[in-house]
Amino acid sequence: MRFCTGLKTNFSIKICAGCLLGFFLGTLKVQAQLCSGALGDPIVNIDFGSGTGRGAALGSAITAYTYRASGDLGEGEYTIANTTAGLKGTAWKTTTDHTGNANGFMMVINSATLATEGVFYKKTVDGLCPNTTYEFSAWLFNVMAVVSPNPNVTFKIKRTDGTLIKTYDSGDLPITGKWVQSGFYFTTGSESSVVISISNNAPSAVPGNDLALDDITFRACGPIVTSGINSGNQTTATICAGTAATIELDASVTSGLSTPQYQWQVNANGAGWTDISGATQTSTTVQFANAVAGSYLYRLQVGEAANFGSTSCRVASPTLTVTVSVAVQATAASNGPLCIGETLNLTSSGGGTYSWIGPNNFSSKQQNPVVTTVSDKNAGTYTVTVTSDAGCTATAQTTVAIGSRPVVSVSPAVTLCQGMSTTLTASGGVSYKWTPATGLSNANIASPVASPTQTTTYKVTVSDATSACPAIDSITVTVMNVPVVSAGNDKGVVKGNSVQLKGSITGNGYTYVWTPSTGLNDATKLSPVAKPTQTTTYMLTATSTEGCGVGTDVVTVTVFEKLSIPNTFSPNGDGVNDVWNISGLDSYPGATLSIFNRNGARLYYSVGYPKAWNGTYNGSPLPVGTYYYLIDPRNNFSLLSGWVCIVR
């Protein structure tokens, strides 16, 4: 039985008890001798990491070459980089790492010109199973822009004591500017550890044989394993979230194992591979009781029973994928309720395709269908079935009411006084709804009692038995308040002068008048001019024209004497003009008087001027001269200032 193809030398195959595949090989050349059977998970998987700039050195235990952290590479040097751009000018091709990751690292090697072998990469692999076949491979890139010469590498497997087990030569790497996979497979004996290495097989005295190395792998190789879903060739299946489903997983394993053992595994949403309990045959079933959205990968692991406890001795079938598609969230809505003759707009969301059915033999494949000029036959429940691209379905419904608009009659507008009530009346329908509900005894009857505190327009929505096509009307209730009157602030006026009153009234529907009218230019104006001869209190009276009451307020106009301020007096004791008499100042409550000399020093101060100033300061007569006064009459009058002379 042949599991691996492409051999270029004579070989023999021996099926051994306890091994995946046993054979003996000579030295292999030119073509990659890769496993054509099933492969296991990598025991070794070297991708050199990722990052920006250059990666860290590998160390002398791994490579015999010299690390270059920056700049160009000399003969026998290497670096860890994510591109060859800028190295060796036009002599090298430009490439990135094998995986295409812009930040992925690879090992870039300027092979030595010496005619001696140099090891690019070396690693000890532990935990191997005896008499088991493994594949050792790597991806290589010929960076040479011209043949000078082309690189050629040797893969070697040695025991830990240095004894050579197997070797393989890649032959000259093609100058195609593409990554190529190279490697071979071999079978262990009793050893559980080996040393793998990749080295230069084209040493030369001239520059050349340079390459890039990436994705070194070492993994078990076994018989051909095929797999499918539900007894077929399909490798994928889709079910819908929230549903129940049974998935049959099937695999076929070619001969070559003396005592095969099997184990199905699952990887749910990238969480890693785990064994499925009891699934130890080539076929098994998976039950989804209430499927959760996600991606579920399945594989069958195959190995010899004697070695099955070690994962490094198993191979795996091709991966089967079960996708649980997200559940469809269907919605259905309309612009109903509607009146007969209007247009019905149906809307839906949630999927890839839509299928509507409804009353009057309605059907549509549109997402948002329209029904024009509806009648009562179009009333009822509309159902939409939404189907996702994955084939999952969901339904949603919307109910549409269609009716005739009632003819509404309402009571006329009404005016009432604040605190009073009135009954609103509507007719023509089966149900009634008044808005706003504030001030109503019941907003859902035909004739509620309204007691608004301010003028309010009440809307009434009247519906027939279907409630589908309501009619709306309104009634305005005007509330007449007791007039709120303000006669304004109290005023002061010098006798013989006039002042304007500032009356105001809040409310509607009223008449007003000032009393008494004495001293007013017009008692029927809100802001008359007052010129009383004596202090007078005026009342502003406003009377509601709707009989809702009377409002009043008063304002007092205080009449003050006109001040007579002499500018000279002679305090010489002759009994004539010995004091400074200011006529009328005593009629200004709280008035103040201050007298200053020319230097600003205050010589006299009084409140109300109860006693006339006699021209002294601290009991001593002041000298003849000019002095300055400041009078504050208060009572909303302006300051008065001037001068007075003392003569003797």
pLDDT value at residue 468: 86
One domain for residues 33 and 154? yes
- CATH code, domain carrying 181: 2.60.120.260
One domain for residues 260 and 215? no
One domain for residues 38 and 131? yes
> How confident is the prediction for the chain on average, in pLDDT?
90
One domain for residues 501 and 591? no
DSSP 8-state code for residue 411: P
Span 412-417, mean pLDDT?
A: 94
Is there a contact between 165 and 195 (Cβ–Cβ < 8 Å)?
A: no
One domain for residues 159 and 15? yes
Residue 401 has pLDDT above 60, yes or no: yes
Span 247-274, mean pLDDT?
A: 94
117 or 411, which is more confident: 411
The last residue of a domain, from among 220, 238, 266:
220
Domain that holds residue 553: 484-560
19-28, 147-156, 351-360, 517-526: segment of lowest average pLDDT? 19-28
One domain for residues 263 and 385? no
Span 71-98, mean pLDDT?
A: 92
pLDDT in tens, 424-445: 999 999 999 999 999 999 999 9
pLDDT in tens, 587-608: 899 999 999 999 999 999 999 8
Assigned domain for 546 exists:
yes
For residue 89, give the 3-state DSSP assignment: helix
What is the pLDDT confidence band of residue 207, given thresholds at 50, 70 and 90? Answer: low
What is the share, in percent, of the chain residues with pLDDT greater than 70? 93
Residue 511 has pLDDT above 50, yes or no: yes
Assigned domain for 361 exists:
yes
pLDDT in tens, 100-117: 888 999 999 998 765 556
One domain for residues 582 and 531? no
One domain for residues 588 and 618? yes
One domain for residues 21 and 165? yes
Assigned domain for 6 exists:
no
Is there a contact between 135 and 34 (Cβ–Cβ < 8 Å)?
A: yes
Assigned domain for 3 exists:
no
pLDDT value at residue 200: 84
pLDDT in tens, 326-375: 999 999 999 999 999 999 999 999 888 999 999 999 999 999 999 999 99
pLDDT in tens, 211-248: 999 999 999 999 999 999 998 889 999 999 999 999 99
pLDDT value at residue 32: 62
| Closest residue by Cα to residue 184 from 168, 173, 172 | 168
Residue 8 has pLDDT above 90, yes or no: no
pLDDT in tens, 515-569: 999 999 999 999 999 999 999 999 999 999 988 999 999 999 999 999 999 999 9
Q: Which long-range contacts (CB under 8 A, 24 or more apart) does 566-571 make?
A: 566/644, 567/642, 567/643, 567/644, 567/645, 568/644, 568/645, 568/646, 568/647, 569/615, 569/644, 569/646, 569/647, 570/646, 570/647, 570/648, 571/614, 571/615, 571/616, 571/621, 571/646, 571/648
pLDDT value at residue 301: 97
Residue 9 has pLDDT above 70, yes or no: no
Assigned domain for 2 exists:
no
- Furthest-apart CA atoms within the chain: distance in Å: 161
pLDDT in tens, 325-334: 999 999 999 9
The number of distinct structural domains making up the chain is 6
Assigned domain for 294 exists:
yes
pLDDT in tens, 299-323: 999 999 988 999 889 999 999 999 9
- CATH code, domain carrying 270: 2.60.40.10
One domain for residues 398 and 310? no
The last residue of a domain, from among 560, 593, 614:
560
One domain for residues 71 and 206? yes
Q: Where are the beta strands (DSSP E) in 437-571?
A: 449-450, 456-463, 471-480, 484-486, 491-494, 499-500, 504-506, 510-515, 529-530, 536-544, 550-560, 568-569
The last residue of a domain, from among 440, 459, 476:
476
One domain for residues 432 and 381? no
What is the pLDDT confidence band of residue 260, given thresholds at 50, 70 and 90? Answer: very high
- CATH code, domain carrying 627: 2.60.40
Assigned domain for 1 exists:
no
Assigned domain for 94 exists:
yes
pLDDT value at residue 140: 96
